Amino acid sequence: MTEQVNVAKSAVPPHNRLGINYRDIPRRKISSLIIDAHTHTRDPALTREFLRAADAYGIGKIWTMAPLEDVDALREAFPGRFEFIAIPKWQNLGPGEDFIKEWRRRIDAFYARGSRLIKFHNAPGTQKRMGMNLDHPEMQSIMRQAYELGYHFMTHVGDPKAWFGPGKKYDPKDGHKSYLEQFEMLDRMLEKYPDRVHLGAHIGGSLEELDLLQRRLDRFPHYIVDSSATKWIVRGIAEQPLEPVREFFIRNQDRILFGSDLVVGEKYDFDHYASRYWVHLQQWETSYHGESPIDDPDAANGVPYLHGLNLPAAVLEKLYHINAEKWLFGKVLGKAPQPESLA
């Protein structure tokens, strides 16, 4: 019996533990195309399969953290589809000089290709590997270079709360700061550059502490967040009483942008990409209340749940495209696109 269960389990793909037909697209509440504000695409050949899923799920324009080497080719292969967020050369990641030098070069190179948003990935693991947090003088000087060129900012600060603490991934004995201490450097950065848009990835890393996030949003009118990181967001919402979370999304309806955090890679197929969009659709648009089809190693007792927020259509319009049009295309790029609709 045990063996049989194991066999059955191993045959279940991690993106589809419930056997959903992801090609059967659920009916959407609104007809506007969605802007995905947070993805990681790569070369056009690999990105094409991701776009099949994006097309099927009504995704229009896409903001990506593609490597510099892929920017020109992506733009040529998919004209008008992508906007590019400046990132360092992650293969160089380390405490050495090379990483910084190359990053400085890339800030200029991305800028020359039209990028006006720069991402600072400063989760605890990244801090440790590069030997710098946002307060580090080297990092401060990179920020200054980007600011002077005219960049707006994006950050990944924090990580799921469950990863912090003794015996966890971010153990204080390994020199990691606590979950709450992560945000002190973010507040300092927000204070320092109030005249630039600042996009906080993954609900600003604060989904599990919405009261604190509310205070940050109230204090810093230039701070906005994206909804990306499907497993984390879905788990973080399902673990809390639903009504206060729903109220948070309605109250902050002008400050939250849709993002998937989909990463393009050789090992992924249509169903993997589609699973994220399918789950996001259920999360924001419906009252779905049950198990999530996406496997989640951090879920309590190993069973991931998905509790839909059933947001009103007017809020979905903002989450899906109006906020990105206003903040990213308008304030960051200085051009506002016309909303696009599903054919």
Minimum CB–partner distance for residue 151 and Zn ion (Å): 18
Minimum CB–partner distance for residue 212 and Zn ion (Å): 22
Query: What string of DSSP letters covers 194-218?
Result: TTS-EEEHHHHT-GGGHHHHHHHHH
Stretch that binds Zn ion, among 68-76, 83-91, 253-261, 305-313 (CB under 5 A): 253-261
Stretch that binds Zn ion, among 55-63, 177-185, 188-196, 255-263 (CB under 5 A): 255-263
Write the binding mask 7 to 46 for Zn ion: x where contact by CB under 5 A, - elsewhere: ----------------------------------------
Q: Which is nearer to Zn ion, 261 or 285 (CB)?
A: 261
97-112 vs 137-149: helix crossing angle, rounded to 10: 10
Task: Report the site for Zn ion in 207-236 (rule: CB under 5 A).
Answer: none
- Residue nearest to Zn ion as judged by C-beta position: 261
Let me know: does 59 contact 33? Beta carbons within 8 Å. Answer: yes
Q: Which alpha helices (DSSP H) does the chain contain, by range?
A: 2-10, 44-56, 68-77, 97-112, 124-130, 137-149, 182-192, 201-204, 210-219, 230-238, 242-251, 270-285, 313-317, 323
* 317, β-bridge pairs: none
Q: Which is nearer to Zn ion, 28 or 40 (CB)?
A: 40
CA distance 30 to 54: 16
Minimum CB–partner distance for residue 38 and Zn ion (Å): 6
Minimum CB–partner distance for residue 192 and Zn ion (Å): 23
Minimum CB–partner distance for residue 225 and Zn ion (Å): 13
Minimum CB–partner distance for residue 264 and Zn ion (Å): 12
Stretch that binds Zn ion, among 85-93, 112-120, 260-268, 296-304 (CB under 5 A): 260-268
Please tell me whether residue 261 binds Zn ion under the rule CB under 5 A: yes
Minimum CB–partner distance for residue 261 and Zn ion (Å): 4
Longest dimension (CA), the chain: 65
Stretch that binds Zn ion, among 101-109, 134-142, 257-265, 291-299 (CB under 5 A): 257-265
Query: Backbone phi, then psi, for 151, in 5-degree steps?
Result: -70, 150
How many Cα atoms are found within 13 Å in the side-chain-facing hemisphere of 290?
Answer: 7
Q: Which is nearer to Zn ion, 261 or 295 (CB)?
A: 261
Minimum CB–partner distance for residue 260 and Zn ion (Å): 9
3-state secondary structure of 83: strand
3-state secondary structure of 129: helix
Q: Which is nearer to Zn ion, 261 or 325 (CB)?
A: 261
Stretch that binds Zn ion, among 85-93, 135-143, 259-267, 312-320 (CB under 5 A): 259-267
Q: Residue 23 burial (CB < 10 Å; 0-12/13-18/19+)?
A: exposed
Q: Which is nearer to Zn ion, 264 or 319 (CB)?
A: 264
Q: Which DSSP letter does residue 321 get? A: I
Stretch that binds Zn ion, among 45-53, 157-165, 261-269, 310-318 (CB under 5 A): 261-269
Q: Residue 257 is inside which H or E element, if any?
A: strand 256-257
CA distance 324 to 35: 7
Residues that bind Zn ion (CB under 5 A): 261
